[in-house]
Amino acid sequence: MNGLGGLNKSPDGVVIGLVQLQLPVVVTKTDLARQTERIVYMIGKARRNLGTMDLVVFPEYSLHGLSMDTNPEIMCRLDGPEVAAFRKGCVDNKIWGCFSIMEFNPDGNPYNSGLIIDDHGEIKLYYRKLHPWIPVEPWEPGDIGIPVIEGPKGAKIALIICHDGMFPEMARECAYKGAEIMIRTAGYTAPIRESWRFTNQANAFQNLMVTANVCMCGSDGSFDSMGEGMIVNFDGSIIAHGTTGRADEIITAEVRPDLVREARIHWGVENNIYQLWHRGYVAVKGGAMDCPYTFMQDMVAGTFRLPWEDQVKVTDGTSCGFPMPTRLFGPKNAKAAE
């Protein structure tokens, strides 16, 4: 399956490279420009590193670092110079790329956004992180759902970001919308290592879906990110894993979306995403097609409430130095800031 990290590429294979990028310090516009150049250089390294690579993936915070700085001076726009540089880098190196930006939001806190750009420089996927890592992160919660695109070799690809992957509903939504490969970019540090590993595997197995996952790497003098590039097959087995913590290492593997499609069609035992809506089909024709989950019903009704709701102590970002918010979550705004 792995093809020696993508060195031996099969006709139906998609070769993914996960960049365990060195964690930067970005405070000024000059820092931002320098880090943009660094990422563009690493696009080139990915292409030189492996001529068979189809998609190079950069971690969350690869452009801005882990400072949580919301200074408008260093926030990005889709039509800004940083994204333009990434688009050119993909064209120049004839490769698809996945990138992270902290995006200016004229109506509130910045968005933590992810982009997938094709080898012609077109933005094919634009995603706003649905679940910021609260109470630590100040980003506006995403409001445009989870897009799924057709990527290299026709593979159906989704992107989620960091803490998103701790919610099984996120991976399930990706697969439900057709994703065969789910990318998860992150800036996680060492305390999350074990949770990172088993959620990446569970997200794959529970949805018969490849997951490709990568964190920032190295130290910025305050934080130590862990790298941990992981490519997990649809049966939950690890295809490739960056365990050394070496900054700027690119973890590579070939994945097979065609075998994902085959498993989703032919598996009986553990075809869980199908069986979710067809439970007990041996006993009753077609299975029980109902919604027995109270939490799902309550979320739709707007009445979701935990039994211990009133006892939760951390319910805003004040413990991490952020002011208590007063603004309610508003209607969806599908248009990015220009």
pLDDT per residue of the chain (338 residues) written in tens, 0 to 9:
567 889 999 999 999 999 999 999 999 999 999 999 999 999 999 999 999 999 999 999 999 999 999 999 999 999 999 999 999 999 999 999 999 999 999 999 999 999 999 999 999 999 999 999 999 999 999 999 999 999 999 999 999 999 999 999 999 999 999 999 999 999 999 999 999 999 999 999 999 999 999 999 999 999 999 999 999 999 999 999 999 899 999 999 999 999 999 999 999 999 999 999 999 999 999 999 999 999 999 999 999 999 999 999 999 999 999 999 999 997 655 554 44
CATH (domain of 179)? 3.60.110.10
Answer whether 159's CB lies under 8 Å from 98's CB. yes
State pTM to two decimals. Answer: 0.96
Tokens 């943009």 sit at which residue? 36
Q: Alpha-carbon distance 307 to 81, whole Å?
A: 48
Beta-ladder partners of 204 = none
Amino acid 337: pLDDT: 42
Alpha helices in 21-106 (DSSP H): 29-49, 81-93
What is the rounded CA–CA span in Å between residue 131 and residue 167? 9
Residue 334 in domain: no
- Judge whether 102 and 110 are in contact, CB under 8 Å: yes
Residue 331 lies in a domain: no
Q: Is 220 contained in some domain?
A: yes
Phi, psi dihedrals of residue 178, rounded to the nearest 5°: 105, 0
Does 225 map to a domain?
yes
Does residue 151 lie in a domain region? yes
- Examine residue 254 and state whether it is found in any structural domain, yes or no: yes
How many domains is the chain partitioned into structurally? 1
- DSSP-assigned letter for residue 164: G
The residues assigned a catalytic role are: 60, 129, 162
Q: Specify the DSSP class assigned to residue 317.
A: S
Query: Which residue has 């800036």 as its token pair?
Result: 187
Is 326 contained in some domain? no
In a domain, 155, yes or no: yes
| Owning domain of residue 138 | 3-320
- Which helix (H) or strand (E) element contains residue 258? helix 257-266
- d(Cα 187, Cα 163) in Å, to the nearest integer? 9
Beta sheet of 148-150, edge-to-edge order = 148-150, 156-161, 181-186, 210-215, 230-232, 238-241
